[in-house]
Amino acid sequence: MKNLLYIGNALSSHGNTITSIETLSKKLSAYYKIKTASTKKNKVFRLLDMMYIVFRNRSWADMVLIDTYSTLNFYYAFAVSQLCRILGIKYISFLKGGNLEHRLKNNKFLSKLMFKHAYLLIAPSYFLMDLFEEYGYNKLICIPNTIEIKDYDYKEADLDTIRLLWVRSLSKIYNPEMAVEVLDAIIKLGFKAELCMVGPDKDGSMGRVKNLADSKNVQVKFTGNLTREEWRSLSEKYNIFINTTDFDNTPVSVMEAMALGLPVVSTNVGGLPYLIQDHYDGMLVKKADVNGMVLAILNLYHNPEMARKISRQARIKVEQFDWEIIKEQRSEILA
């Protein structure tokens, strides 16, 4: 049995959204001996903890798995990757950030040091795989994000009124203000509508979104961070899932909504067009296009049979991403 170190941000115990290091590591533990880092909330302590775990287990670890995002985590991933190089440990970069192109463009030297020397680059979508190939990187493989389909009870939503659900960390790159703008525009057109936003505050966006809702005099329900089980239960009260992001890959929250039967209306950025086929298993609109999203929502509302068909097609698609199907691909790579 191989020994794996998995490095990433495991911060759900501090109120943050659960990440792949916390879900995937549990699944991998059935096949490998695995240790993870880090749960430290302080950014400096987290980096030090990551580096210490790698150094302390330099003789134990057969391979290091590194979650690689486009935000501050990029520098954590870079530091860990270079320590692995010094210690002679193979490492795999899990490419997670929907805005990693920003790093490829603006941090060319660091990107080359990290990605060129990786044992493998694993992209969760062909969007990121194609992107990295365009920048001259190889040793790439696409393994989709996974869900356990048995945990998602499919239910076709009743479109009697417009009940919107938004699930994500409230962060600037996900453009949460757009959700409020969409709600306001629908209400001004004379339709009854409501909006629930699920997720923790990431960068002060929560305050900005609440102020925007107050200024427009619209009611928005904010739940804060919820477990997957909690928001899956909450989803039964809503009938359309909206994704307003400006940058993205193939978000698990969107996959989960598709599994639950909620028709998805999303911006068409990053890897979303690789996940959703417009008007077939979801609806896509341009980045920051409030009017486009409003029209897509109303299209679903006025055409419930089309909405049901989209819902069914979406469920069929995400069944392909079930862990029981994808796990064989991961096992082959780590064997």
Same structural domain, 258 and 178: yes
Query: What is each CA distance from 94 to 21, 81, 122, 141, 296, in whole angstroms?
Result: 10, 12, 5, 10, 33
Of 94-98, 145-149, 257-261, minimum mean pLDDT range: 94-98
Same structural domain, 161 and 253: yes
Q: Is residue 225 part of a domain?
A: yes
- Residues 122-176: tens digit of each pLDDT: 999 899 999 999 999 999 999 998 999 999 999 998 899 999 999 999 999 999 9
Of 8-17, 151-160, 250-259, 260-269, minimum mean pLDDT range: 8-17
Place 97 in a pLDDT band, splitting at 50, 70 and 90.
confident
For residue 76, the enclosing domain spans 3-143
State residue 167's pLDDT score: 97
- Check pLDDT > 80 for residue 1: no
Same structural domain, 87 and 200: no
Average pLDDT over residues 93-111: 93
- Residues 227-245: tens digit of each pLDDT: 889 999 999 999 999 999 9
- Check pLDDT > 90 for residue 43: yes
CATH of the domain at 249: 3.40.50.2000
Same structural domain, 14 and 30: yes
Q: Is residue 85 part of a domain?
A: yes
Of 84-88, 115-119, 123-127, 303-307, minimum mean pLDDT range: 123-127
- Check pLDDT > 80 for residue 250: yes
Average pLDDT over residues 278-293: 98
Of 11-20, 80-89, 130-139, 174-183, minimum mean pLDDT range: 11-20
Among candidate residues 143, 162, 183, the one where a domain is terminated: 143
Q: Is residue 265 part of a domain?
A: yes
Place 205 in a pLDDT band, splitting at 50, 70 and 90.
very high
Same structural domain, 162 and 310: yes
Q: Is residue 105 part of a domain?
A: yes
Place 199 in a pLDDT band, splitting at 50, 70 and 90.
very high
Q: Is residue 278 part of a domain?
A: yes
Same structural domain, 171 and 69: no
State residue 237's pLDDT score: 96
Among candidate residues 143, 164, 181, the one where a domain is terminated: 143
- Check pLDDT > 70 for residue 335: no
Q: Is residue 67 part of a domain?
A: yes
Same structural domain, 129 and 163: no
Percent of the chain with pLDDT over 70: 100
The total of structural domains in the chain comes to: 2
Same structural domain, 45 and 136: yes
Same structural domain, 175 and 86: no
Among candidate residues 111, 127, 143, the one where a domain is terminated: 143
Is the model's pTM score more than 0.85? yes
Same structural domain, 68 and 169: no
Q: How far apart are CA 220 and CA 265, in angstroms?
A: 18
Q: Is residue 331 part of a domain?
A: no
Same structural domain, 126 and 267: no
The chain-wide mean pLDDT, for the chain, equals 94
State residue 157's pLDDT score: 85
Same structural domain, 183 and 296: yes
